[in-house]
């Protein structure tokens, strides 16, 4: 592995990236964490050990890793047993299987929308009883959260008896009777529900981060995890398939040409993969709008690089990555967004990422047009340079290596 000295706290990275998943809720951005907290509390009532409780919390945070569309999120929120729900469970299973340190969560994610009576037909040939219980506990907590969602902060306790009854009424069909009993026991206390309020969630997260062992991951693993999240973001829109991967490759290519240190090239590659994480919060209809955005929609869209920053800055060792990613819409002339960083404070890496972002977007084919030719891209980049919107040195390097830059930006994923 290159850069042996480089390592990150895996739990911190996972917690931060779960913030990104939660953004898909748009206005309600703590679904995964609430499901994690409820599941861990039920696990404790069930007598499962501390390690299993921590696993249930992580599983809760990541269970909807296959959802990037705000429309899908809405269906899952509003319908008890939505026919389309299996798709995101399969997608999530596939993504988690690729990353060894989290691969043990893949099976429970696959079945977190499967009824208990169906799961029992699969045990033990297709899955272990333990994974059936894990998956079903997530399903239960997930449904409790959707029942409770309209009432958070608004007389939730008036509705608790009804929520408990709804869960009880599907014991043995949708949910394991044993898990329902644990939930009914745990949810008798006020604390179970008060724990789901934003401030309590924050403290819970702090406790969790301070606890247990903290496996570390190196650059190689970080890149795999970042590429998984880049695909979640890119899957949100058919306009952007493989965008983040192309940006990341092109940024690395340009950085190497410009003599950026190997360590920073690695970091820039990760920043490229994660630069549009904040787009998970942009509603599908804004992101995919075929025409021009109105003023309000533009404001929503332009907040995405700030959201990216909010997520990434929480990870120790990520300060460069967070800033470069956050600055990908900052312009050397100070006219970009959201910070309006003055030219002298824009690092070379941030300028490279900006050029890579625009270059890739132009080179990529879209449903309504094929990608631009190198000549069209050349003219457009020069025009943006002349307006102070792109760094001229970086653009020069891209133009001097046009064929290779095109290949880096648009290569199909391996």
Catalytic residue numbers read: 279
Part of the chain binding Fe ion (CB under 5 A), chosen from 40-48, 148-156, 356-364, 403-411: 356-364
**Residue 276 binds Fe ion, judged by CB under 5 A:** yes
Question: Which tokens go with 120?
Answer: 């029992």
Stretch 7-46: interaction string toward Fe ion, x if CB under 5 A: ----------------------------------------
Nearer to Fe ion, 122 or 362 (CB): 362
Strands (E), 185-314: 216-218
Q: How many residues does the chain have?
A: 414
Nearer to Fe ion, 19 or 276 (CB): 276
Nearer to Fe ion, 156 or 301 (CB): 301
**Residue 64 binds Fe ion, judged by CB under 5 A:** yes
**Cα–Cα distance for residue pair 67/97, rounded to 1 Å:** 16
Part of the chain binding Fe ion (CB under 5 A), chosen from 28-36, 57-65, 220-228, 318-326: 57-65
Look-up of token digits 């009880």 = 168
Look-up of token digits 């999120």 = 73
Smallest distance from the beta carbon of 328 to Fe ion, in angstroms?
6
Part of the chain binding Fe ion (CB under 5 A), chosen from 45-53, 352-360, 378-386, 403-411: 352-360
- The angle formed by the CA atoms of residues 58, 64 and 69, to the nearest 5 degrees, is 150
Nearer to Fe ion, 221 or 357 (CB): 357
Q: Binder to Fe ion among 19, 266, 357, 391 (CB under 5 A)? A: 357
**Cα–Cα distance for residue pair 274/67, rounded to 1 Å:** 16
**Residue 284 binds Fe ion, judged by CB under 5 A:** no
Convert 66-89 to b/e letters by CB count within 10 Å (16 or more is b).
Answer: bbbbbebbbebbeeeeeeebeebb
Smallest distance from the beta carbon of 363 to Fe ion, in angstroms?
13
Nearer to Fe ion, 217 or 251 (CB): 251
CB 271 within 8 A of CB 324: yes
Using CB under 5 A, count the residues that bind Fe ion.
3
Smallest distance from the beta carbon of 80 to Fe ion, in angstroms?
12
CB 7 within 8 A of CB 216: yes
Cβ neighbours of 158 (radius 10 Å) = 9
CA atoms within 13 A on the CB side of 137: 35
Given the rule CB under 5 A, which residues bind Fe ion? 64, 276, 357
């Amino acid at each position: 592995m290159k850069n042996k000295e480089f390592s990150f706290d895996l739990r911190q990275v996972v917690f931060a990236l779960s913030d990104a998943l939660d953004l898909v809720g748009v206005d309600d951005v703590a679904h995964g964490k609430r499901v994690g907290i409820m599941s861990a509390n039920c696990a404790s009532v069930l007598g499962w050990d501390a390690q299993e409780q921590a696993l249930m919390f992580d599983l809760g945070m990541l269970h909807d890793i296959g959802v990037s569309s705000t429309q899908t999120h809405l269906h899952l929120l509003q319908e008890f047993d939505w026919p389309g729900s299996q798709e995101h469970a399969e997608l999530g299973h596939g993504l988690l299987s690729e990353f060894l340190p989290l691969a043990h969560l893949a099976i429970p994610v696959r079945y977190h929308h499967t009824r208990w009576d169906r799961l029992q037909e699969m045990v033990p040939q297709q899955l272990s009883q333990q994974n059936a219980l894990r998956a079903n506990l997530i399903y239960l907590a997930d449904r409790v959260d959707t029942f409770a969602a309209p009432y958070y902060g608004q007389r939730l306790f008036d509705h608790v008896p009804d929520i408990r009854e709804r869960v009880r009424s599907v014991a043995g069909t949708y949910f394991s009777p044993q898990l329902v009993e644990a939930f009914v026991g745990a949810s008798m206390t006020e604390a179970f529900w008060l724990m789901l309020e934003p401030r309590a969630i924050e403290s819970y997260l702090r406790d969790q981060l301070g606890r247990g062992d903290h496996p570390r991951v190196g650059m190689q693993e970080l890149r795999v995890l970042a590429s998984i999240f880049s695909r979640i973001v890119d899957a949100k829109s058919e306009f952007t398939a493989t965008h983040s991967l192309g940006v990341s490759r092109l940024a690395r290519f340009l950085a190497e040409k410009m003599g950026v240190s190997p360590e920073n090239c690695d970091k820039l590659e990760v920043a490229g993969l994660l630069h549009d994480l904040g787009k998970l919060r942009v509603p599908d209809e804004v992101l995919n709008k075929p025409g021009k955005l109105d003023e309000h929609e533009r404001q929503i869209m332009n907040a995405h690089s700030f959201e990216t920053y909010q997520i990434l800055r929480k990870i120790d060792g990520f300060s460069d990555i967070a800033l470069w990613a956050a600055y990908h819409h900052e312009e050397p002339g100070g006219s970009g967004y959201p910070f309006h960083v003055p030219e002298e404070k824009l690092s070379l890496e941030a300028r490279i990422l900006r050029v890579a972002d625009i270059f890739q977007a132009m080179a990529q084919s879209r449903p309504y047009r094929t990608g631009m030719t190198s000549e069209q891209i050349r003219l457009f980049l020069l025009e943006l340079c002349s307006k102070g919107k792109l760094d001229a040195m970086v653009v020069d390097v891209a133009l001097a290596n046009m064929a290779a830059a095109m290949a880096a930006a648009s290569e199909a994923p391996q």
